[in-house]
Structure 1
Amino acid sequence: MTDEQKKKLEQKLWDIANTLRGKMNADEFRDYILGFIFYKYLSERLQAYADDILKGDGVKFLAIDETTTDGKSILAEVKHATVEALGYFLNPSELFSAVAKRGEQGAFILGDLSTILTNIERSTMGTASEEDFDHLFEDLDLTSTKLGRTEEAKNALIARVLTHLDAIDFRLDDAKADVLGDAYEYLIGQFASGAGKKAGEFYTPQQVSTILARIVTTGKTRLKSVYDPTCGSGSLLLRVAREVTDVGDFFGQEMNRTTYNLARMNMILHGVHYRNFDLKQEDTLEHPQHEGRLFEAIVANPPFSAKWSARPLFLQDDRFAQYGRLAPGSKADYAFVTHMLSHLDDNGTMAVVLPHGALFRGGAEGAIREYIIREKNWLDAVIGLPANIFYGTGIPTCIMVFKKCRETDDVLFIDASTCFEKGKNENRLRDEDVDRIVAAWRGRAEEARFSHPAPRAEIAANDYNLNIPRYVDTFEAEARIDLTAVARQIAEAETAMEPLDAQIRAFCAELGLESPV
């Protein structure tokens, strides 16, 4: 698929999403359109797989009669195979295209649709994929009055959306391009741009994700594991996968139920097998779900300065005990940092987005920061990002990079605060800005007004305050004025004006006027 075809697909999907825009706000219609796209994907993927395994028998999946004994026998065998391979099952009559056609012909499909979505989940019960499909469609509420005041109005709207989606070729046979996955990511980004403060719950801007992903994959072509403790829609985890040839397993945790469902859909839509991702829905700090595991790459964009319990009991928790202090209850930034460090493998790299305040705030945060640098030498880099590049907040942010086995005794500071393109609502990092930041981190060289590798002694002299202007001087010195050159230029200008002055004096004399020169 060409870039032009890809853009057309994205625009078609967004146009369909706008069919619902007048009925509800962005974060609400997001759940419907993304849920239906996911249902279509599951249907097409299952049909292709079933047709393949039935090829030897000369049978097409859609041609199987579900009412006959032979049909039921064939479907039972297909179900066993598809649940094992794909994790779920649908009957031919339950496929997206079949339901969409019934809706286009004027049939009432809401009841069937609700049953089918439930059946997808039921088909996984008692299998290895059960947890990954459990209540996956719970946010797709087909009874909502926002779809219409009457059942007929709701049915008409849903039928129209399904019909439009059914006409789009998702190109699932295009093995070289993750076409649908890209389109899904595009839609998530579009919804984020209109969702205000809620956008930060499920989406990290693509350019920021790319910086994090390139940092944690530098020098590697394969990863055993990647982890995001606040995984949102899963976009950051999937962005890491784009930078290497293979990721063994994906791990993540997300507190918001709707966003957690979105992340599971996103994984499956990107072709991640249900056995290769382990996403949990819980509060990461209060109820961690991956205790004892170490990960080769860790990325995160936690909620900025979120509140947490900071219970004294956590001082006995292995994630926090060694620091002797807990992050304050009003700001959980360092609680997330130390949680992530407890899961970082010795050969791993961790990159996390934080508010600028995490660089210089004192108290418990200052003590934790000092311990990480002075006692452990785990802090590898601090990258200052431009303001207003995250949806829903304009506060300045930074990326902190950590490694447990470092070969250097300095911390690289990068001031990328001016590396952006101004947008209507948010600023945007350009591709060249992303490339420059990543290249500076990899090269660790001194660059005037942009980067500086600071020895730990220099950081200690600054009392472990990491405020970037202390290390990267961005002051533009005023140009020195050459007074001799200025005087010469004035004299040359006066000489050039002499003929004109003479003409003015002569003209004034003829008219009997006093000359102004």
Structure 2
Amino acid sequence: MTDEKNLPGAGMLADTKAMIDGLKTVCANAGLANDSSEYKIITEAFLYKFLNDKFLHELRKLDVFKAVDDIEAAYSAMDEDERDTKLLEITEGTAVLRPEYLLSYLFNRKNKDGFAGKFDEALLGIADDNVDVFSVKAGEGQPIKLFGGVSRFIVEEAKRDSFCAQLVTKLAGFSFERAFSEKYDFFAAVFEYLISDYNKDSGKYGEYFTPHSIATIIARILVPDGVSDVTVYDPAAGTGTLVLAAAHRIGEDRCTIYTQDRSQKANEFMRLNLILNNLVHSLPNVVHDDTLKYPRHYGKGGKGIKQFDYIVSNPPFKADFSDTRDDLADDKYRSRFWAGVPNITNDPDKMEIYLMFLQHIVASMDAKGHAAMVVPTGFLTAKGKIPMKIRKKMVDSKMLRGVVSMPSNIFANTGTNVSIVFLDASVEHDHALLMDASKLGEKRKADGKNQRTFLSADEIEQIVQTFNADDEAEGLSVRASYEDIAAKKFSFSAGQYFEVKIEYEELTPEEFDAELSERIAKLGDLFAEGTRLQNEIEAQLKKVRLG
């Protein structure tokens, strides 16, 4: 979790949270609190405000507007041809808004009849005007537009104008202007707060939100300094926490992100996360579809699956994939699912779908690629045929760099213990660094009731520095040779490789004899005490029988 008190923009963050809370209050007053539509209303209104302010921010950089006090009035007063010419100069990746779609224009008309229609018209118009840049894709390639409008979620038509007017009023009382100088950590905190109430049903398929601490550890271990012009991929991206952390580590302008997820909600959050973090150029690579059956990122010439420089993933651990299991076991998928396909169990929540994603990730690595995968800690020692074959492949391919086992309850919505497996195909490894960080962290309540484990900044630094230095630290990490790993049935558990240390003291013969005599005397006293207690018990039993 981001340490918000230490963020440079802590005041701005508080103001942003207050704006989000205001939008939630409007929804609650309309009877939509915890309704399935609430997250759509909140995220669309929030994103509209962000795009509006970002557009005005970019307009101010143009020479024609630098000396203008009321930039919105000046922009609106231009004739259409002049406006279109000037907009060609605006920073690439900025959403363009017509004058009638600006927040100030809407705010000045919020008390007029039919305002809900005007607000929706602005949202839909922005989506249509910017569809080439800001849409993501469904599996077959059709664009999923940025906005769908919000008034439709209010059943009583007579209340729609008032509802939209209240939303616009909350937006107008806030400005993102100061936020545009902030960096990844600020927007990570904003995003985490924005979706905090809307990712609680994520356990059925995958974890929509990966803790910031895990994302930071993965990015800092996976990505070396100086990386540029690379691809970053997550086949079960959720809200994008992992790819965003990796992209920030690399540099948002030095990498291209590719993601896929079968959850519509997750992909909507993913798009929002990319926009907030200045990765608009990667939006065309966000795909909504089932990665296992329909991988939508292809290799050159559309042949085979695309291979990537960096892969990060926190895939779903257990989920029902019975509808596609037999298809995935077909020979045409064999090259990707080389270790096999798990059987369907009677309990749909115990189907080990993560084993499928691990195979997909290995198959998606570039010849010199890197990968980091969150797995259930039980995978490290699982004796089943499929997990054994996966671990063996990682070792035989000489790409297992190491493993970090995390503390329990590091995630908010699962009690499963997790570990991170790091692969590196850029060099041939002959050992792996196995780390047991399970004893680190502080346990405290995260949301008033659920207890979570939080890693401090120093503990994160300790994990990262130790791992990157390939260093053995007593009780924390150990270098295990591939030969030793094979001898232990390809176990990746650090505890099986720690040296067992016996504490001892050197004694002279005289000291040894004295110590031995003292211990024999104590042992004699213990035997005598035992005999006394036994005689006493027998006497008491005899009295009971005679009585």
Q: What's the TM-score bracket when you normalise by the shorter of the two chains? A: 0.7 to 0.9
291, 302, 307: which is aligned to 1:294? 307
Aligned to 1:218: 224
Cross-structure match for 1:33: 42
Q: Which moved more, 1:461-470 or 1:196-205?
A: 196-205
Deviation at 1:476, TM superposition (A): 11
Mean Cα deviation higher: 468-477 or 295-304: 468-477
Q: Is the 8 A contact 2:136 2:286 kept in 1?
A: no
Task: Give the Cα–Cα distance (whole angstroms) in 2 for the partners of residues 193 and 286 of structure 1.
Answer: 25
1:74 corresponds to 2:82: yes
Specify every segment of 5 or more residues in structure 2 that has no aligned partner in the other structure, as ranges.
1-6, 138-142, 300-305, 345-350, 506-510, 519-547
Provide the residue aligned with 1:376 in structure 2: 397
CA RMSD of aligned residues (A): 3.5
Q: 1:121: Cα distance to partner?
A: 2.0
Pick which of 87-96 and 114-123 moved more. Answer: 87-96
Q: Give the TM-score normalised by the residue count of structure 2.
A: 0.76
Conservation of the 8 A alpha-carbon contact between 1:189 and 1:205: no
**What is the distance in 1 between the residues matched to 2:49 and 2:63?**
21
Within a 5 Å distance, the mapping from 1:414-453 to structure 2 comes to 414-424=435-445, 425=450, 426-453=452-479
Structure 2 residue 164 is the aligned partner of structure 1 residue 175: no
Which of 105, 109, 121 does residue 102 from structure 1 map onto?
109
Aligned to 1:388, the other structure's residue is in SS state: coil
Does structure 1 retain, via aligned residues, the 8 Å contact 2:199–2:208?
no
Asked whether 1:358 is paired with 2:357, we answer: no
Matching residue of 1:90:
97
Aligned to 1:305: 318
Q: How far apart, in 2, do the equivalents of 1:349 and 1:156 lie?
A: 52
1:249 to 249, 252, 256: 256
Whole-angstrom distance in 2 between the partners of 1:343 and 1:303: 18
Aligned position for 2:482: 456
Measured in 2, the distance between the counterparts of 1:299 and 1:163 equals: 40
1:325 maps to: 340
Q: Does 1:339 align with 2:360?
A: yes
- Percent same amino acid at aligned positions? 22
Does the 8 Å contact 2:65/2:71 carry over to 1?
A: no
Partner of 1:504: none
What's the CA shift string for 1:151-206, capped at 9, x where partnerless? 34443343223222222221257435458734532324633686674795421111
> Is 1:409 aligned to residue 430 of structure 2?
yes
How far residue 101 of structure 1 moved from its aligned partner, in angstroms, is 3.9
The letter of the residue matching 2:79 is G
Identify the range of structure 1 (188-197 vs 113-122) with the bigger mean alpha-carbon deviation. Answer: 188-197
Q: Report the CA distance between 1:17 and its aligned residue.
A: 4.3
TM-score, length of structure 1 as denominator length: 0.80
Q: 1:474 to 1:419 in 2, by over 3 A?
A: farther
8 Å Cα contact 1:228-1:300 kept in structure 2 = yes
Question: 1:42 aligns to what SS in structure 2?
Answer: helix
Q: Which residue of 2 aligns with 1:55?
A: 64
Counterpart of 2:528 in structure 1 is none
CA drift at 1:40: 1.0
Amino acid at match of 1:40: K
Asked whether the equivalents of residues 385 and 398 of structure 1 are also in contact (C-alpha less than 8 Å), the reply is yes
CA contact (8 A) 1:383 1:413 kept: yes
Deviation at 1:454, TM superposition (A): 1.1
- Give yes or no for contact 1:171–1:180 (8 Å, CA) kept in 2: no
* Change over 3 Å in CA distance of 1:196–1:340 after alignment to 2: closer
2:175, 2:439 → 1: CA distance?
Answer: 41
> Deviation string for 1:217-245 (max 9, x for gaps)?
13444351211111112222111122234
Instruction: Work out whether residues 55 and 96 of structure 2, in 8 Å CA contact, stay in contact via their aligned partners in 1.
Output: yes
What is the CA–CA distance in structure 2 between the aligned matches of 1:412 and 1:76, rounded to whole Å? Answer: 57
**CA contact 1:193–1:391 (8 Å) conserved in 2:** no
CA distance in 2, matches of 1:218, 1:98: 47
Structure 1 residue 265 displacement after superposition? 2.0
Q: Establish whether residue 316 from structure 1 lines up as the match of residue 325 from structure 2.
A: no
Aligned length: 473
Flag the 1:408–1:72 CA change in 2: closer, same or farther, 3 A: closer
1:303, distance to aligned residue in structure 2 (A):
1.0
Match of 1:184 among 190, 193, 209: 190
- Unaligned 5+ segments in structure 1 are 488-517
2:288 corresponding residue in structure 1: 281
* Aligned residue in 2 for 1:387: 408
CA–CA distance in structure 1, aligned partners of residues 480 and 353 of structure 2: 27
Aligned counterparts of 1:193 and 1:475: Cα–Cα separation in 2: 45
Instruction: State the SS of the aligned residue for 1:243.
Output: helix
1:399 to 416, 420, 434: 420
Is contact 2:239–2:273 with CA below 8 Å preserved after alignment? yes
Between the aligned partners of 1:423 and 1:474, the Cα distance in structure 2 is 32
